[in-house]
């Protein structure tokens, strides 16, 4: 079992990076096409839809510094956690002002916490990042807290965790069957070279998944897109989500939503073909 020097990893707390970038129209246009949203305007001055900010400030990693899993080698901004699997576990995001196409935006990302916990199959290391997007008027437009989790590969003798059943009382749902083209396009748009999303042999043999894995950010992007299709007059001001179980290429899943009686919040979730809860989220709208 890997020994985790958590005190060494905690010396990364406080590390940060700040970058400036123009919100160019092309990435937003391409994601709108990927989502089949020809109604999304991406001209100069148009508001950037929620979660489209993930298309910008992409990691610029030389090919020589890519690890065997397709991620950048450990170290740099993120601590060198000696566990092979890295997953985006959860995020909480406040959408205070819409970023605009053509605007120059400053993004600051800081490691705010590193914690060690015991899991069923060994240690888990949680790394929390806090990210702030400041627009050209000096306003904090988007504030996000993101949690990454690092863990061992499961051993053959490990018993799977029984999945949690998803709700069945949705107000709307849409079935999606993710194919390799969808996963490839999202990987390209986000410059994500993690091999579980495009290299099926690696996903199956090395990380022991049954098929290519749907990106967690893509799952929540599809959920939020469906909310905006259902409630086009409402603006999302806050989103909190967590990944519960993975979704896989070729395996159908449902995008579900149910507004609260007061109309101020909407619960969103993905449900796989076996009825399991895979992504769980709450959005505030106004």
Supply φ then ψ for residue 174, to 5 degrees: -140, 135
Integer Cα distance of 143 and 147 in angstroms: 14
* pLDDT for residue 108: 98
Structure-token pair, residue 8: 């060494």
* pLDDT for residue 85: 86
Where in the chain are the domains?
A: 6-160, 162-286
* pLDDT for residue 71: 81
User: Tokens 């020589």 — which residue?
Assistant: 64
Largest CA distance in the chain: 56
- Asked if pLDDT for residue 10 goes beyond 70, the answer is yes
Query: Percentage of residues in the chain with pLDDT exceeding 70?
Result: 97
Strands (E), 120-193: 122-134, 140-151, 172-176
Summarize pLDDT for 21-54 with one digit per residue, the tens: 999 999 999 999 999 999 999 999 999 999 999 9
- Asked if pLDDT for residue 155 goes beyond 80, the answer is no
Indicate if the alpha-carbon torsion angle 225, 215, 177, 27 is positive or negative. Answer: positive
CATH number at 6-160: 3.10.129.10
- Topology match between the domains 6-160 and 162-286: yes
Specify burial of residue 185 (Cβ count, 10 A radius: 0-12, 13-18, 19+). Answer: middle
* pLDDT for residue 144: 98
State the fold for domain 162-286.
Thiol Ester Dehydrase; Chain A (3.10.129)
- Segment 222-226 shows an average pLDDT of 98
Integer Cα distance of 225 and 254 in angstroms: 13
> Whole-number mean pLDDT of the chain?
94
Asked if 109 and 77 count as a contact pair (C-beta separation under 8 A), the reply is yes
Summarize pLDDT for 110-135 with one digit per residue, the tens: 999 999 998 877 899 999 999 999 99
- Residue 61: which pLDDT band, with cuts at 50, 70 and 90? confident
Helix segments in the chain, DSSP class H:
6-9, 25-34, 180-189, 200-205, 216-230
Integer Cα distance of 56 and 53 in angstroms: 6
Summarize pLDDT for 66-97 with one digit per residue, the tens: 888 888 887 789 999 999 888 999 999 999 99
Please give the C-alpha separations between residue 256 and each of 13, 219, 230, 286, in angstroms, as whole numbers. Answer: 37, 11, 11, 19
């Amino acid at each position: 079992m890997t020994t985790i020097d958590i005190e060494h990893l905690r010396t990364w707390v406080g590390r940060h990076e700040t970058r400036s970038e123009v919100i160019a129209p092309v990435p937003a246009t391409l994601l709108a096409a990927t989502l089949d949203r020809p109604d999304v305007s991406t001209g100069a001055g148009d508001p950037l839809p929620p979660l489209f900010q993930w298309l910008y400030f992409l990691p610029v990693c030389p090919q020589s510094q890519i690890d065997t899993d397709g991620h950048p080698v450990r170290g740099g901004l993120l601590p060198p956690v000696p566990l092979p699997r890295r997953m985006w576990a959860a995020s909480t995001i406040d959408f205070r002002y819409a970023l605009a196409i053509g605007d120059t935006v400053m993004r600051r990302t800081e490691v705010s916490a590193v914690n060690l916990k015991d899991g069923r199959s060994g240690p888990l290391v949680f790394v929390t990042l806090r990210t702030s997007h400041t627009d050209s008027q000096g306003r904090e437009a988007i504030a996000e807290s993101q949690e990454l989790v690092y863990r061992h590969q499961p051993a053959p003798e490990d018993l799977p965790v029984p999945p949690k059943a998803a709700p069945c009382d949705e107000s709307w749902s849409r079935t999606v069957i993710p194919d390799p083209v969808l996963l490839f396009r999202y990987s390209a748009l986000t410059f994500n070279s993690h091999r579980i999303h495009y290299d099926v042999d690696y996903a199956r043999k090395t990380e022991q998944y049954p098929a290519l894995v749907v990106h967690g950010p893509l799952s929540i992007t599809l959920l939020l897109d469906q909310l905006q299709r259902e409630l086009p007059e409402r603006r999302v001001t806050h989103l909190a989500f967590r990944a519960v179980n993975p979704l896989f290429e070729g395996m159908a899943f449902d995008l579900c939503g149910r507004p609260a009686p007061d109309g101020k919040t909407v619960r969103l979730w993905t449900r796989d073909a076996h009825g399991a809860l895979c992504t769980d989220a709450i959005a505030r709208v106004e």
